Amino acid sequence: MNHGSLNPATRRLFLQRGAFGLGALGFLQAAGGLRGEPPRAAGGVLKELHHQPRAKRVIFLFMGGGPSQFETFDPKPKLNKLWGEPMPHSLTKGQRVAQLQGAPLVILGTHRKFAKCGKAGTEVSDLLPHLRKVMDEITLIRSMQTDAINHDPGVTFMQTGHQLPGRPAMGSWLSYGLGSENQNLPAYMVLLSGQGQDQNVKARYWSSGFLPTLHQGVQLRSPGEPVFYLANPPGMSSPVRRRILDSIRELNEVHLAATGDPEIATRIAQYEMAFRMQTSVPELTDWSKEPKSVLELYGEEVRKPGTFAANCLLARRLAERGVPFIQLYHRGWDHHDGIQGRIIQECKKVDQPCAGLLRDLKQRGLLKDTLVVWSGEFGRTPMAQGDSQAENYGRDHQMRAFTSWAAGGGIRAGAVHGATDEFGYNVVANPVHVHDLHATMLHLLGIEHTRLTYKFQGREHRLTDVAGKVVAGLLA
Amino acid sequence: MNHRVCLFPLLLGAALVLRAGVLAADTGQAPVSFDRDIRPLLSEHCFACHGPDAATRKAGLRFDTREGLAGVAKDGARLVTPGHPEQSELLRRIAAADVSEVMPPPKSGKPLTAAQVTWLRRWVEQGAVWSPGWAWTLPRLPLSPVVTRVAWVRNEVDQFTLAAMERRGWQPAAEADRVTLLRRVSYDLTGLPPSPEEVDDFLADAAPQAFERLVDRLLASKHFGERMAQHWLDLARYADSDGYHDDHLREMHGYRDYVIESFNRNLPFDQFTREQLAGDLLPNPSQSQLMATAFLRNGPTTSEMGADAEEYRLRYAAERVSTTATVWLGLSLACAECHDHKYDPLPTRDFYRMFAFFDQLPGNPLANGAAAAPLLRIVPPGKLDELEAAETALQQEQAALRKLYYEPRSDWDRAQAGWEQRLRETKLEPMRLGDWQMAGPYQPDGHAESERFPPERAQVDGDRAAARLFQWVPRPEQATNDVKFPAREGVTYLRRDVATTTSGIVRCRVNPHVAVKVWLNDRLVHDSGRDVETPGSIKLFNIRVPAGRHRLLVKLIPAHTREEIVFGASESAIHRNRLERYLESKQLEIPVAQRSTNDLTMIRRVFRELHIPEIDAAQLVVEAAQARHARAAKDSSQLRIMAEPSQPKPTHVLLRGDFRRRGEPVTAGVPVVFDGLGLAAPTNRLELARWLTVRENPLTARVTVNRWWQMIFGTGIVKTGEDFGAQGEPPTHPELLDWLALRFMDSGWDVKATLRLIVTSATYRQSSRQSQAAAQDDPENRWLARGPRFRLPAEFIRDTALAASGLLDRGRAPAGRSVLTYQPGPDLWREFAFAESLKYIQDHDGELYRRGVYMFWKRSVLHPYLAVLDAPTRDACTARRPVTNTPTQALALLNETLLVECARVLAQRLLEGATADDAGRLRWAFRLVLAREPSGSEVKVLLALHADALRHYQTEVAAAKQLVSVGEFMRPAKLDPAQHAAWQCVCNALLNLDETLTKE
């Protein structure tokens, strides 16, 4: 912002406030401040990272509803052999199910074909032809575990490390810890796709919980106004808005000089950032100058706003602009019935865009410091829901074992981590709990997960609650 | 210690250093206080291993009890020997140089500073006085502290704050000017700015006690309850939806109205407590006392398929425990759900004893809506008869319809046999629907629904002359089943051809606020007036179509022209699928006598729905009865309340909080830490509620007055109002807190009297201007040497704009369901939710202009305006809203539709007012928004803005017209658009001034 236009009294005040540790410039650039506590500088609360980071930002591809690992990443030939047989009671005894409560537990195979791909020969299903070609970038985690069996607590757990609402989302923790290198965009941005299908979604999934609201995820919407209230009212052009803002600022400066409340200085700075967002956000969402070759990486749907493909492209554009936490939230994986048909559709929507995103990041040199994570809130059962012999069967929720993947930003390239038993029911090697995934993500960003904390209701809280360990096997 | 040095670490978030720093500066060689200086230190650095949690306790040593600190270490050394630091093992270990000896161990990451070690040493030197924790001891009536500036003191509150200031050598700030004070106290007691008339009245009142009289007026205002509800509803996690998973809507507004009403009639706080926690257990509870218990049903609930009912029954009970503990006791009891509390004397068992008060609710935990019993039906006075009659009528009509569907009838059954025969021989084909065509709108002379316009006469009456009077226009979206167009005044017709090989059903849907008639060829087959709307409803109905080719004619009459009309017609998939299934499964080949009851009745119903005109009529009658019922029930609601079951369920400790791992059985009881206080042990909710407000309860009164202090001054006397435990911050003015708590109880828990005491103090009346020194010495104003200054909550900013524009609460009763105001579109509820679930049906007219406290609180999609301005989703009890300052807030405050509309209507008010000159208008605007006159330079700045904007809009008239059309409130056509737009810009600026957004 233009400091030259500050009136002398204001400028004097800013300079005097050097005692607050930021100086005039820092004060004006402060991205925000919780009342009563000094505004942070461009960075977050961590003045320095705990160790050398491997990643500077995260793109989290959230697969809402819980994708089936058996149709995608975790082949289990035994299930095809035992198709229609009862699940071994020894495995399922006393274990939780969701919609299968009280139902017979019958084994369900799959029609999918798996093939070895990449240098490591990782088996991936025929529904993911594009991801098959980039498996050398990816580490598959076949041993994911969570604590929640239902969607709402499951998503909340993956997002915040706790099943009940009220804790900050992982993006909020990052915004709080690291801040953002981009002063024109929020540090935590969220993009939704799969509108109106299957899974509902809640703004609290990207809420900052007990952290200051400054750190809540800002939804980048499409179609429609990309950020709430970004557009001026009809009939008010940008120059008129600028003229109004000048008057507001002038009067606020007078009032700042009169009252001496530094909060007014912050408000002036925030109104200026709001004005800059009115330019930076439309510039961000306008991809008309992207070359055809880039669009083709993401597939045909990239041209349709609000699709997962379009959001992947936006994710890359956000990554380029230094937004540290970018979350895509795609709905459509809750296949309690009709799984064999529905999962074809869903894979089609995400396969090429995911692969395209990895390629696009790589060709720009961004993949090496961008951590990409793909995960649902849980996986699905090897047991059928509905008649395993008819055509309309599906799979229930499964929290004991599911598959996620990660790539880029310090993740081992082209590997498989962990394994499940021959039923895909229990993890038999290298379990990765959601808390461990969180700890590992923070580790890659240069943060020790036990040391990024916030005191609330009398105790130091953290993303990993009281658990979590960095999974060395995932690191490059 | 130099202030500058000690404040700097605060920037790094190290609040503890501040505490130590302030102490060092404040107390000098004054006696060490265990509660203030020592316990927080031990709690932060030692309790995790040497505290209340037996499971993690190391070396068997605990420092949280008197006995523990008096104990001995393994080698026999006394931990603490009063008066003898050199004989105190604790001091030796914290000062040890050897890393294997020093405590806390380095790997804990919580080393003590040299200053902290000194404090502990001084504490031992001074006799190691112990106390159970200030919050666990009863408030004591303190002696009035001695102060020098006696003249400044207006009431006892000031004695305490002044004494603290004088100890620092500080002086109170001057009194704020009268207008600032008036504005401040109006926000604090009503949440609204004072009107210019109120300003004049107050300024004209030169008699002594003018301010006190003003306070009394404000406390008597009906807006007082709304203001207090804004505060209380966050604590009560009041919302209009279920929260989890589908986030179904619920009807809890009766509770909100109860809260407003209770504060308005100054219900004593102890009674307010009893009614909310146990109104159902009071003798002969009144309706309002039952409504109050909705407090305990306000928590989030789920209806997710596959959820475990027992898990959620227990989860809700746990939520009630932690909410109750936070609201009344200021304790984070939830910590003890899985393990003994790490810092406070609250073992897990205590959590489940509290739990046993709250886990006895009968009913299905996974139910929602009208099934979420126990429910209280709330019917406005005089409406009950009508509602009951409508209910009876509806039941009768539904029974009659069922009879038509399912009862054997020889003539129909014979016809059905013929239909089944034909169906078996027919190849099923989907119904074919032609393109949509449209005609109109026609402006009615008389009654739109009965007036017959040319398209209707042409088709229905076969009037050939009429057919020449108009032309059908094809619709661009003809390929789809939905026609969508902006509603215009008058009557619009739609036409569409239908062809089917077998009899079928066309399913029609239309959005609310539209009256519809449908003809099949010349026969009227559907006629519905405007129905009563509830959020989430769209109107659906069936048109029966025999085999053959037909023409549908639809007549649409919108109730208003503010939203689009969407009309859809497509083949009923249910009926089509049924037919296909019957044919595929060859069910129709089974002789009627051998069919299962289910098949028999379902096939019969499908046949009759497809063929029997009486069914149409009966369905219409049922629909009409439903509409009548909805109308009768319009202002009624079903409020979730508390009740006790006939058969109590046993309560168990749940190991690690896991509902499947039951530990020992427990009975209801309060935490054992309270045992020593001589209170009778409560055994049910009512006794618990009484126990919370007996004089021997050390917490409730303190917690409550502290929260009001926080509401008024921005920060509580205890900053962590939600945590009075060992990990919370100790009070800055412990004696003031005790004095206020005792005074509150002595007054009979009189809410208004207590607030009056606070706002009539000299402390409250200080100017909020910060001298540079004050800002540096006390940036958070914890020592109250100036008045409060902080941003208003989201609701009050909205209320301010509404009040200034004159739109506030125009002709609207202060009760009833929550309002759905403008929402950034197209429909966020649907963007977030399942495909066909709830639709956001925006309100209109006076509903739009109600105060923020009445806004619809949908937890999963909180209104974005509320969300960006720090309003909580209310998924959990919120005792403190953060007050942040972000760019997305700036965007919302500049551009949100209602706020822009308020600027527009305020501009109208200025232009239509008595003042003709611009400077006069601007002065009037300042008085409406900020209660004060503008300064000369302010006038200059804004008149320059006005001039620039006017110049712009005089050349951009179309843009001006757009700008002055924002919002639904009427606009006088005579106003010049450019002038209006220019003033709207000025008002938009005024409504965005920091001063406008801030109580100061």
B876 to A165: CB separation less than 8 angstroms, yes or no:
yes
Question: Among B11, B860, B895, whose Cβ lies nearest the Cβ of A232?
Answer: B895
A457 to B722: CB separation less than 8 angstroms, yes or no:
yes
Shortest Cα distance from A36 to chain B (angstroms)? 5
In this predicted structure, the answer to whether residue A4 has a pLDDT above a threshold of 70 is no
Interface test with B, best of A34, A40, A152 (most B CBs within 10 A): A152
State what percent of residues in chain A have pLDDT above 70: 89
B825 to A224: CB separation less than 8 angstroms, yes or no:
yes
B727 to A151: CB separation less than 8 angstroms, yes or no:
no
Shortest Cα distance from B829 to chain A (angstroms)? 10
Question: Among A35, A36, A458, whose Cβ lies nearest the Cβ of B332?
Answer: A458
Among A299-313, B435-449, B936-950, which stretch is predicted with the lowest mean pLDDT?
A: B435-449
Q: What is the pLDDT of residues A322-332, one digit of tens each?
A: 999 999 999 88
In angstroms, the CA B917 to CA B937 distance is: 17
Q: State the pLDDT at residue B982.
A: 98
Token readout for A127 is 């529904």
In angstroms, the CA A430 to CA A473 distance is: 8
- Quickly state the pLDDT bin for B836 (edges 50, 70, 90): very low
**8 A C-beta contact, residue B277 and residue B685:** yes
- A contacts of B952 (beta carbons < 8 Å): 239-240, 243
SS3 B839: coil
* Closest residue in chain B to residue A194, using alpha carbons only: B831
Any idea what DSSP says for residue B378? E
**8 A C-beta contact, residue A360 and residue A318:** no
Q: What is the pLDDT of residues B344-367, one digit of tens each?
A: 778 888 899 999 999 999 999 999
B888 to A227: CB separation less than 8 angstroms, yes or no:
yes
Shortest Cα distance from A403 to chain B (angstroms)? 22
Mean pLDDT of chain A: 87
B941 to A247: CB separation less than 8 angstroms, yes or no:
yes
Q: What is the pLDDT of residues B722-740, one digit of tens each?
A: 888 877 788 999 999 999 9
**8 A C-beta contact, residue B525 and residue B519:** yes
Shortest Cα distance from A47 to chain B (angstroms)? 8
Q: State the pLDDT at residue B291.
A: 97
In angstroms, the CA B639 to CA B372 distance is: 9
The highest-confidence range among A147-151, B769-773, B895-899, by mean pLDDT, is: B895-899
* Closest residue in chain A to residue B938, using alpha carbons only: A251
Class of residue B429 by CB neighbours under 10 A (exposed 0-12, middle 13-18, buried 19+): exposed
Structural domains in chain A plus CATH codes: 54-231+308-474 (3.40.720.10)
B247 to A261: CB separation less than 8 angstroms, yes or no:
no
B985 to A196: CB separation less than 8 angstroms, yes or no:
no
Interface test with B, best of A261, A330, A383 (most B CBs within 10 A): A261
**8 A C-beta contact, residue A260 and residue B771:** yes
In B265-308, alpha helices (H) = 269-278, 287-292
Question: Among A39, A152, A230, whose Cβ lies nearest the Cβ of B891?
Answer: A230
**8 A C-beta contact, residue B27 and residue B19:** no
Distances (CA, A) of B293 to A25, B318, B360, B437, B751: 53, 17, 14, 55, 20
Which residues on adjacent β-strands are paired with residue B654?
B662
Place of tokens 């700036």: B890
In angstroms, the CA B165 to CA B159 distance is: 10
SS3 B349: helix
In this predicted structure, the answer to whether residue B13 has a pLDDT above a threshold of 70 is no
For residue A162, what are the contacts with CB-CB under 8 A and spacing of at least 6? A156, A465
Structure ipTM: 0.78
Q: What is the pLDDT of residues A384-409, one digit of tens each?
A: 998 777 667 899 999 999 999 999 99
Q: State the pLDDT at residue B200.
A: 97
* Closest residue in chain B to residue A212, using alpha carbons only: B882
In angstroms, the CA B437 to CA B925 distance is: 51
In this predicted structure, the answer to whether residue A9 has a pLDDT above a threshold of 60 is no
For residue A93, what are the contacts with CB-CB under 8 A and spacing of at least 6? none
Interface test with B, best of A228, A378, A391, A454 (most B CBs within 10 A): A228
Question: Among A239, A266, A457, whose Cβ lies nearest the Cβ of B723?
Answer: A457
Q: What is the DSSP string of B430-469?
A: PPEE---EEEEEE--SS-TTT---HHHHHHHS--HHHHTT
The closest alpha carbon to A30, from A159, A183, A147, A132, belongs to: A183
A261 to B789: CB separation less than 8 angstroms, yes or no:
yes
In this predicted structure, the answer to whether residue B231 has a pLDDT above a threshold of 70 is yes
Q: What is the pTM of this model?
A: 0.79
Token readout for B114 is 């040299």
Token readout for B887 is 């760019």
**8 A C-beta contact, residue A6 and residue A253:** yes
In this predicted structure, the answer to whether residue B196 has a pLDDT above a threshold of 80 is yes
Mean pLDDT of chain B: 88
Place of tokens 């306008």: A286
- A contacts of B180 (beta carbons < 8 Å): none
A261 to B768: CB separation less than 8 angstroms, yes or no:
yes
In angstroms, the CA B27 to CA B39 distance is: 17
Q: What is the pLDDT of residues B450-500, one digit of tens each?
A: 888 999 999 998 888 888 888 998 876 655 678 888 877 889 999 999 999
Q: What is the pLDDT of residues B110-122, one digit of tens each?
A: 888 888 888 889 9
In angstroms, the CA B946 to CA B923 distance is: 14
Q: What is the pLDDT of residues B118-173, one digit of tens each?
A: 888 998 888 888 877 788 888 999 888 999 999 999 999 999 999 999 999 999 99
* Closest residue in chain A to residue B943, using alpha carbons only: A247
**8 A C-beta contact, residue A430 and residue A419:** yes
- A contacts of B993 (beta carbons < 8 Å): 248, 251-252, 255
B770 to A259: CB separation less than 8 angstroms, yes or no:
yes
E-strand stretches of B445-530: 473-474, 482-486, 491-500, 504-510, 514-520, 523-528
Q: Which residue has the higher pLDDT, B902 or A90?
A: B902
Mean pLDDT of B940-964: 97
In chain A, DSSP finds a helix count (H) and a strand count (E) of 13, 17
A47 to B12: CB separation less than 8 angstroms, yes or no:
yes
Shortest Cα distance from B870 to chain A (angstroms)? 6
Class of residue A126 by CB neighbours under 10 A (exposed 0-12, middle 13-18, buried 19+): middle
